[in-house]
Amino acid sequence: MVTKIDGATTCDKTERQVFETEINMGTVHPAALEPYRVRLFVEDEIVKDAEITVGLNHRGIERIMEGLPVEKANALTEKVCGICSNGHIYNSCRVGEGALGIEIPERAVYLRVLAEELERLHSHMLYLGHGSEVLCHETFAMRIFYIRESVMDLLYMMGGNRVQYGISVLGGVRPRADLNLKEQQRVLDTMDYIDEKVADFAERFIADPMVMHRITGTGELSQKQALDLHVTGPSLRATGYEYDFRTEMFEYEPFEFDIITQDGGDVRANILMRATEIFESTKIIRQVIKNLPKGPIVTRDWDLVDSPVYKSYIEVPRGVCYHSYGLEDGKVRHSIIRTPSMSNIGAMQESCIGHPIQDAQLAIVSCDPCFTCTDRAIQIIKL
């Protein structure tokens, strides 16, 4: 017999009652860094389905870019995200350089890689800190945030800001981003510090039985599910799939690094995925500093010409980021930006299913969401 009681459905099966109802989380929630809404459809506190709704942070950046001079439009893309702001201006400059046929100096290529890997370090550490907070482990959160400060200091040294550094410009990087010998040594010393401290953090984290019990087997996503949902970045590699778009970027051709993977696709795999990738980023950064070419850091030997839409993909901390636009009279036309979280929302929803309500937010956070940078486009539905 099936009956409805106050919007809930009850089903009698051999003297067992199953309650089917909907629970809303958000748009503001203590475990969420950004405003978004999660609808959980549960039976006896087990999530049977989930729906994530974004849209509260829409700022219309692509529409604002329409008609702006290309260099001003590139600078605006940093406002897409406060965590991976460098990735957006870096990719936007790549679009302009591809459209105009600009070949940037080799030293500028290395400095862009340095900035992007520093951003990957701070983003992964932010992920570990936020994940520790959701696990209600303030000690781990404070430890990793303290280590992260050393990376933020380097980004401030290169760009003059802790957020939105403005390092990339059309044709290269701006003068402040260039490093003298003393600053290069500071980067190397900081990488030694990060390797030591993050290794200690990871050992303590793994050795905590309560934490490992909570995260192992929670929020599982199979490799097939990840591929079907077009998951990207570390969340895909956490299922064991070996793919990193940096291997297809010409900027990373001079550098040796391993593609890190984990098995299981659960919260544990996602956390270990980011923690282990930190050591690959420090490896790349050391290679950048030790092999930094001499020469100019920007070229202005180019002319603004009209261009059809040009596309560019790069690997940012959360996965593959897409930018495209065309040029007309030096102004941007038809800009489109797609962030990794747009692809990963399906994984966040799927990873909640089959787990208790209290693990839903942990499963979502394990996919490293950034919904503010996802909220740029709107879909108009004709009713």
Q: Which parts are annotated binding residues?
A: 62, 81, 84, 337, 370, 373
DSSP calls for 197-222 = HHHHHHHHHHH-HHHHHHHTTTT---
Burial of 161 (0-12, 13-18, 19+ CB in 10 A): middle
State how far the Cα of 185 lies from the Cα of 110, in Å rounded to an integer.
Answer: 16
Give Cα 327 distance to the centre of its chain.
Answer: 28
Residue 345 phi, psi dihedral angles, 5° rounding: -60, -40
Q: Are 54 and 374 in contact (CB under 8 A)?
A: yes
The position carrying tokens 């403005």 is 166
State how far the Cα of 55 lies from the Cα of 40, in Å rounded to an integer.
Answer: 18
Give, in order, the Cα–Cα distances in Å from 150 to each of 44, 85, 133, 187: 46, 18, 20, 10
Binding-site entries for Mg(2+) = 62, 337
Binding-site entries for Ni(2+) = 81, 84, 370
Binding-site entries for Fe cation = 373
